[in-house]
């Protein structure tokens, strides 16, 4: 029983480390999105502008993926904590 609780705590700790990485990564994706979008808005050349908008949208998609992962992890941690 003790070993089970210990392994559960270790698992929660590991997951919290991943949450920490995600919570730091999300604002970085957001600032990258803003950076590419501002760059796109400041460029007159149509091809380059389109390319930067595409890259900005990719950053936004990354942010969405990370947010989904974060939500999933937070739910999993909450359920593991209730089990403990």
Q: Which residues bind another protein (CB under 8 A)?
A: 16-17, 19-21, 23-24, 27
Asked whether the beta carbons of 55 and 38 are under 8 A apart, the reply is no
Of 1 and 24, which CB lies nearer to another protein in the complex structure?
Answer: 24
Of 26 and 56, which CB lies nearer to another protein in the complex structure?
Answer: 26
Least distance (Å) between residue 71 CB and another protein? 11
Of 43 and 70, which CB lies nearer to another protein in the complex structure?
Answer: 70
| CA 16 to each of CA 2, 30, 39, 41: distance values in angstroms, whole numbers, following the listed order | 21, 22, 35, 38
* Residue 77 token pair: 């941690």
């Amino acid at each position: 029983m003790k070993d089970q609780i210990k392994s559960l705590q270790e698992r929660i700790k590991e997951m919290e480390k991943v949450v920490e990485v995600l919570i730091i990564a999300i604002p970085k994706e957001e600032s990258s999105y803003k950076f590419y979008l501002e760059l796109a808005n400041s460029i007159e050349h149509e091809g380059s502008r389109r390319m930067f908008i595409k890259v900005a949208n990719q950053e936004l998609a990354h942010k969405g993926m990370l947010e989904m992962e974060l939500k999933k992890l937070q739910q999993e941690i909450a359920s593991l904590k209730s089990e403990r």
